[in-house]
Every structure is written in C-alpha cells, then in structure tokens.
Amino acid sequence: MALTQVRCPDCNGLNVVKYGKQPNGEQRYSCQDPRCSRTIFLLNYRSQPVLQSSRTRIIELALDGYDPQAISESLGLPEEEVTRVFQQLSRLTAPPVGVRSRPDKRTKVAAS
Ligand SMILES: [Zn+2]
C-alpha cells in the first residue's frame, strides 16, 4: 500500500516513499524502483499555498486594478493561485477587488 499517490518524475512509477525533508521543510521522496536512476526527488505541489511575499504582490497588483490573469503572467504564478488569493481578499474587503465584473446596469438611486 502506497503512502501517497506520488509519482516518480523519472519513471512515472508509484513505487515511491517519503524520504525525510529539506531544511526548508519540503517533503523529499525516494523512488524505490530498482530500474530507476532517480533516487531522491522533490515535488512541487500545485496546491501549495502561495508564498506570503507573492501574496503581498498579488494584493498590491489587485488594488492597482489588475485582473488575476494579468497578475499571474506578471508574477509567473498559476492563475488559479492568484484567483484563490482574490477570493480570500474579496471576503475581507468591500467592495471586492477585481473578482466581480462591474455592474453594467446603472441602478437608479432615489435621491429623495
Ligand atoms: Zn523512478
């Protein structure tokens, strides 16, 4: 039974075990396939949270009016991560920044 559904980047095998951690806490894996030359590798999880420094940049750009696509291109981050930060941001701020399109209908406000 495999501990994780991690695949070896070299042989694409599932015969992979956890193999300690990097000094920065990143999980290391070891391929157990005897035919594979790769022994230890790291995974870059797509689901890894955005670094705080990147997060700050995303928020800065969002406040400048950039949309998630422009920010993801500018910072070289996956757009889904940028969107996630936007979504978190929109819960904290009002009105939400950039996530919703501008209302195309003018709402008449009764002045008197
Ligand atoms: Zn392998």
Could you give the count of Cα atoms lying within 13 Å of 53 in the half-sphere of its Cβ? 1
Q: How far is the CA of 84 from the centre of ligand 1 (A)?
A: 33
Percent of the chain topping pLDDT 90: 11
Between CA 84 and CA 69 the distance in angstroms is: 12
Mean pLDDT of 23-47: 79
User: Domain total for the chain?
Assistant: 2
Between CA 21 and CA 19 the distance in angstroms is: 7
Pair (38, 69) in one structural domain: no
Pair (29, 57) in one structural domain: no
Pair (30, 64) in one structural domain: no
- Residue 48 token pair: 């890894």
* Residue 44 banded pLDDT, cuts 50, 70, 90: low
Q: How far is the CA of 26 from the centre of ligand 1 (A)?
A: 19
| Mean pLDDT of the chain, nearest integer | 76
Pair (56, 33) in one structural domain: no
* Residue 32 banded pLDDT, cuts 50, 70, 90: very high
**111 is a domain residue:** no
Between CA 112 and CA 109 the distance in angstroms is: 9
Pair (5, 24) in one structural domain: yes
pLDDT of residue 78: 86
> E strands, 1-112, where?
16-21, 27-31, 40-42
Q: Which domain holds residue 65?
A: 52-92
Pair (5, 41) in one structural domain: yes
**27 is a domain residue:** yes
Q: How far is the CA of 78 from the centre of ligand 1 (A)?
A: 26
**Bond prior to 95 in cis (omega within 30° of 0):** yes
What pTM does this model have? 0.39
Pair (30, 62) in one structural domain: no
Mean pLDDT of 25-54: 76
